[in-house]
Amino acid sequence: MKSISTILTLSLIFLTGIAFGQGYTFKVLANKGTNKIKAGADWEPLKTGASLQDNDELVISENAYLGLVHASGKTLELKAAGNHKVSDLAAKVNTGGSSVASKYADFVLSKMSAEGKKNRLSATGAVHRGSNDAIHVFMPSSVGVFSDKAIIRWDSVDGENVYVVTLKNMFDDVLVSIETNEPNIELDLTNEKLSKENVVLLSVTSKGDEEVKSGTYAIKRLPEADATKVKETLNALMSDVDQATALNKYILAGFYEENNLLIDALTSYEEAIKLAPEVDSYREAYVEFLLRNRLGE
């Protein structure tokens, strides 16, 4: 896990300086609706990734949503229609914090590229057709996990299906077998049958046709030293994103992805979408995350 150690070390180096030199009051991480910004004399459409200054003004449309991150790292979800001065929004933010969230906000925004959008549009809605197709689980063949909860998702197979998810230990003993009609499950890694295992082997099959199956995927608990390093930075981040909002889950996804904890990142994306299913920004970011990490191939 050398990459985690290196990234976390660099993160801590930049913590002390990240609060200084910010050229914005808020950044827009998520945007739904026909929202506008007045910068100077002109009104313009508000875009995801935009930087908001203290003297800017916003018009929020009906049934809209804005996910904002303050320069201090604090987050703000805005749903109230009408005119809002950025200075008034900033006054609502408790700016005491670590500023770690702004770093990971920049990380997730940097990943929303034009090329990523092109790839996302071509991939959205894809399913694997035919009874002989393999089931593609959205994870690497071997992956570390930090959290106690993990959402596992795979491509749906055409038609009505019951999936069987099997979890084994390294000796090929079955620990848990789960049936589901959905192409996803949520694993509780504190389950007494799983909690003592450092490595769990996961596979998915179609109950109606055992030839339709996935490969075997290894889910590995982080070594204690690596988990401690992750926890140290995560604790600082949680001082900014302690509330269970879609925006905060989105920022957590960025934290986990940058630290190569892809199951944890996927879980956070899934939770963000569940909390704000109407906001396309989170779904689009999730698809781009899957594509750039080559998950499900």
Which residue has better confidence, 189 or 109? 189
- Look at residue 296 in the predicted model and tell me its pLDDT: 65
Task: Give dist(CA 25, CA 16) in Å, integer.
Answer: 18
Tokens of 50: 């935009």
DSSP state of 155: P
- Look at residue 133 in the predicted model and tell me its pLDDT: 45
pLDDT single digits (tens) 173-185: 999 999 999 999 9
Count of C-beta atoms within a 10 Å radius of residue 2: 7
143, β-bridge pairs: 219
Strands (E), 103-224: 142-145, 149-153, 163-168, 174-180, 184-188, 199-206, 209-213, 217-221
> How many residues in total does the chain contain?
297
Q: Is the pTM of the predicted complex or chain greater than 0.75?
A: yes
| 289, 263 Cβ separation under 8 angstroms | no
- Look at residue 41 in the predicted model and tell me its pLDDT: 83
- Look at residue 281 in the predicted model and tell me its pLDDT: 93
Same domain? 30 vs 64: yes
**Residue 57, in any domain of the structure:** yes
Cα angle: 275, vertex 200, 191; to 5 degrees: 60
**Residue 3, in any domain of the structure:** no
Q: Where are the alpha helices (DSSP H) in the chain?
A: 2-18, 86-91, 100-110, 114-123, 224-238, 246-258, 262-275, 280-292
52 is in which domain, residue-wise?
Answer: 26-97
| 199, 218 Cβ separation under 8 angstroms | yes
Question: Which pLDDT band holds residue 161 (cuts at 50, 70, 90)?
Answer: confident
- Look at residue 21 in the predicted model and tell me its pLDDT: 42
pLDDT single digits (tens) 92-135: 887 665 567 777 887 888 877 555 555 555 554 444 433 344 79
User: Based on the structure, what is the number of domains in the chain?
Assistant: 2
Same domain? 84 vs 197: no
Percentage of the chain beyond pLDDT 70 is: 83
What's the mean pLDDT when you consider all of the chain? 85
Lowest mean pLDDT among 22-31, 120-129, 164-173, 207-216: 120-129
Radius of gyration for the chain, computed over Cα atoms and rounded to the nearest angstrom: 21
Same domain? 142 vs 61: no
**Residue 44, in any domain of the structure:** yes
Same domain? 236 vs 246: yes
CA contacts within 13 A on the Cβ side of 40? 2
44, β-bridge pairs: 37
Tell me the average pLDDT across 224-235: 94
Same domain? 216 vs 160: yes
Residue 7 has pLDDT above 90, yes or no: no
Question: Which pLDDT band holds residue 13 (cuts at 50, 70, 90)?
Answer: very low
Same domain? 75 vs 201: no
Q: Furthest-apart CA pair in the chain: how many Å?
A: 69
Same domain? 216 vs 168: yes
Q: What is the CATH number of the domain that holds 230?
A: 2.60.40.10
Same domain? 200 vs 291: yes
Percentage of the chain beyond pLDDT 90 is: 65
Nearest-CA neighbor of 163 among 185, 138, 140?
Answer: 185
Question: Which pLDDT band holds residue 23 (cuts at 50, 70, 90)?
Answer: confident
Same domain? 44 vs 152: no
Same domain? 78 vs 106: no
